[in-house]
């Protein structure tokens, strides 16, 4: 599958050619394990020292936000009935049972043979007929995460809230999850070149459609579902929805809710040293440091063996704080919930996928749309027309911009050029609610919003497109915040209900005219 083609072509695993022989493969594995261990040790040590320094300076104290300002009447609840005896383990079904629910698990095989894990939330006291009546909602996680991210914050989670409000909630896990599985490849998959030969388009064109078709195949009374995607889940959904070759999947989606989708990079790509260093590495350095298969496998192994211990939750928080300046001020203040949330992170992903996000040499990748540093550091409202037209020049001044500049071709081969329409006339416009966090500096949500308002004529504000920007929320708060159901869940339900009411009204008027 070529990066510059959107056509859906199933590539057989057998057609993938190995680059390395037995000796070089395992030598690379050893070298990359050594260098990535040093890299992770430096990050971990830096995270611990940062916490110590902040405590000495008095900066580590968490200031809680005023939840009532944006709660829409929602009052956050205790996450689980018995917090004292709640275990910190990596068994997702355990947490569902603590909520008096249960979990069904299905295996889904993609066209290229990857075996994925699909989770289905159920109420064990409901009949099959009652379950069939529920409208399906499919939720797709972000990078390094998994299905559990939507539900393990308990009664204040988005998945629990949607289930409470009558939806049939399905949670997907992209390829590799916490266990590598394939229909035809056998043996040592963790060191298999063929197994790890995938990136973002495989998740968008293979994994996501496979999940959607599987969910609807088990919903006899429904032919459409609601699609929700966080971060990378939003990115792969955008890729799928703008691909005309996947129109048969577009017809199966009633509503699309992208939550902080990873379309454009934000200011963190300039302010975090580890991103700056990694992004400038040439391909050979990536190979030496991270290998050719799964990235940072040592951290995945650490999670496997240490996740139930308190030290894992503590170090995970330190790392997230150090790497992204995220703190838990909006989360449930019971640290056990923080620990549980981190247990279900650090899933296996390919080096190729990480190169899409952080490799400057990837002309199609995330970094290819990074704007000049001064743009992000300017607190004034950004004129994205001006910036996009001149973003590769040394000086960006409004005086040099003409109307013709605003229609220039993008200087990168990004899948998401700012100044071109993605959803062309022959593509279905699925009603969309864009959810952003006002303090999310990992992705540039305002630039995405500007694109949607100015370059997507098929989307009309307050008709089939709307957005919310939640104050104080960062990239994880939009799914982990204690009051996320009041600030986001409520708005999702309202958006869907408003459009459904308008559709019913229009249908009634058409019948009346007939």
pLDDT tens string 391-448: 544 444 444 434 434 444 444 689 999 999 999 999 999 999 999 999 999 999 999 9
234 located within any domain = yes
Q: Has residue 203 got a pLDDT over 50?
A: yes
For the residues of 278-342, what is the DSSP string, one character each? HHT--HHHHHHHH-SSBTTHHHHHHHHHHTTSHHHHHHHHHHHHHHH---STTS-S-HHHHHHHH
459 near 423, Cβ under 8 Å? Answer: yes
Residues 39-54, mean pLDDT to the nearest whole number: 91
Q: Has residue 341 got a pLDDT over 60?
A: yes
Q: Has residue 13 got a pLDDT over 80?
A: no
pLDDT of amino acid 482: 95
pLDDT of amino acid 381: 74
Highest mean pLDDT among 219-233, 368-382, 390-404: 219-233
153 near 337, Cβ under 8 Å? Answer: yes
6 located within any domain = no
Output 372 or 143, whichever has higher pLDDT: 143
Residues 6 or more apart whose CB falls under 8 angstroms from that of 421 comprise 455, 456, 457, 458
pLDDT tens string 20-36: 888 998 899 999 999 99
379 and 445 in a single domain? The answer is no
Residues 256-274, mean pLDDT to the nearest whole number: 94
Q: What is the CATH number of the domain that holds 166?
A: 3.40.50.1820
Counting runs of H as helices and runs of E as strands, what totals does the chain give?
A: 21, 8
Query: Hey, how many other C-beta atoms are within 10 angstroms of the C-beta on 64?
Result: 10
Say how many domains are in the chain. 2
pLDDT of amino acid 412: 62
208 and 355 in a single domain? The answer is yes
240 and 285 in a single domain? The answer is yes
287 and 379 in a single domain? The answer is no
392 located within any domain = yes
* Cα Rg of the chain, angstroms: 23
Element containing residue 22 per DSSP (H, E)? helix 22-57
Q: Has residue 70 got a pLDDT over 70?
A: no
391 and 463 in a single domain? The answer is no
357 and 484 in a single domain? The answer is yes
156 and 275 in a single domain? The answer is yes
**pLDDT tier for residue 9 given thresholds of 50, 70 and 90:** low
382 and 360 in a single domain? The answer is no
pLDDT of amino acid 453: 96
pLDDT of amino acid 395: 40
pLDDT tens string 449-471: 999 999 999 999 999 999 999 99
pLDDT of amino acid 401: 38
218 and 348 in a single domain? The answer is yes
Q: Has residue 6 got a pLDDT over 70?
A: no
484 and 338 in a single domain? The answer is yes
Task: Share the mean pLDDT of the chain.
Answer: 90
394 located within any domain = yes
Tell me the residue range of the domain where 397 lies.
374-407
7 located within any domain = no
pLDDT tens string 162-191: 999 999 999 999 999 999 999 999 999 999
> What's the token pair of residue 156?
């204040």
277 and 396 in a single domain? The answer is no
pTM exceeds 0.85: yes
Q: In what order do the strands lie in the sheet with 225-230?
A: 102-109, 115-122, 167-173, 135-140, 225-230, 253-259, 432-437, 465-470
Residues 310-332, mean pLDDT to the nearest whole number: 92
51 and 129 in a single domain? The answer is yes
């Amino acid at each position: 599958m070529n990066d510059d083609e959107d056509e859906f072509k199933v590539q057989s695993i057998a057609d993938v050619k190995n680059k390395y022989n037995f000796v070089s493969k395992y030598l690379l594995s050893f070298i990359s394990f050594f260098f990535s261990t040093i890299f992770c040790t430096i990050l971990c040590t830096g995270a611990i020292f940062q916490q110590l320094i902040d405590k000495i300076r008095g900066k580590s104290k968490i200031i809680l936000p005023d939840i009532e300002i944006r709660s829409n009447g929602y009052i956050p609840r205790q996450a689980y009935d018995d917090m004292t005896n709640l275990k910190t383990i990596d068994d997702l079904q355990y947490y569902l049972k603590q909520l008096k629910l249960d979990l069904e698990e299905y295996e889904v095989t993609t066209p290229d043979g990857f075996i994925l894990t699909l989770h289905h939330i159920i109420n064990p006291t409901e009949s099959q007929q009652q379950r069939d009546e529920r409208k399906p909602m499919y939720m797709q996680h972000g990078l390094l995460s998994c299905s559990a991210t939507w539900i393990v914050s308990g009664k204040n989670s988005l998945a629990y809230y949607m289930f409470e409000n009558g939806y049939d909630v399905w949670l997907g896990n992209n390829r590799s999850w916490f266990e590598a599985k394939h229909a035809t490849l056998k043996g040592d998959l963790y060191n298999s070149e063929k197994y790890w030969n995938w990136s973002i388009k495989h998740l968008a064109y293979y994994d996501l459609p496979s999940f959607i078709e599987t969910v609807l195949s088990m919903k006899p009374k429904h032919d459409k579902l609601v699609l929700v995607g966080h971060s990378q889940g939003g990115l792969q959904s955008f890729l799928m929805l703008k691909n005309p070759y996947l129109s048969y999947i577009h017809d199966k989606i009633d509503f699309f809710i992208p939550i902080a989708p990873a379309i454009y990079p934000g200011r963190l790509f300039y302010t975090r040293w580890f991103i700056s260093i990694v992004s400038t590495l040439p391909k050979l350095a990536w190979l030496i440091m991270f290998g050719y298969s799964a990235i940072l496998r040592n951290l995945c192994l650490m999670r496997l063996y240490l996740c139930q211990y308190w030290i894992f939750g503590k170090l995970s928080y330190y790392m997230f704080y150090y790497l992204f300046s995220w703190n838990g001020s909006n989360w449930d203040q019971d640290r056990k919930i923080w620990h549980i949330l981190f247990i279900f992170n650090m899933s296996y992903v390919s080096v190729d996928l990480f190169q899409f996000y952080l490799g400057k040499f990837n002309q199609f990748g995330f970094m290819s749309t990074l704007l000049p540093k001064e743009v992000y550091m300017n607190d004034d409202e950004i004129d994205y027309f001006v910036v996009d037209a001149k973003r590769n020049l040394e000086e960006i001044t409004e005086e040099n911009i003409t109307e013709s500049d605003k229609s220039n071709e993008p200087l990168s081969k990004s899948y998401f050029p700012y100044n071109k329409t993605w959803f062309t006339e022959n593509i279905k416009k699925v009603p969309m609610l864009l959810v952003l966090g006002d303090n999310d500096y990992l992705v540039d949500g305002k630039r995405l919003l500007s694109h949607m308002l100015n370059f997507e004529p098929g989307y009309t504000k307050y008709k089939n497109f709307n957005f919310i920007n939640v104050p104080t929320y960062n990239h994880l708060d939009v799914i982990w915040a204690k009051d996320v159901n009041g600030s986001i869940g409520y708005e999702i339900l309202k958006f869907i209900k408003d459009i459904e009411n308008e559709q019913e009204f229009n249908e009634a008027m058409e019948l009346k005219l007939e």
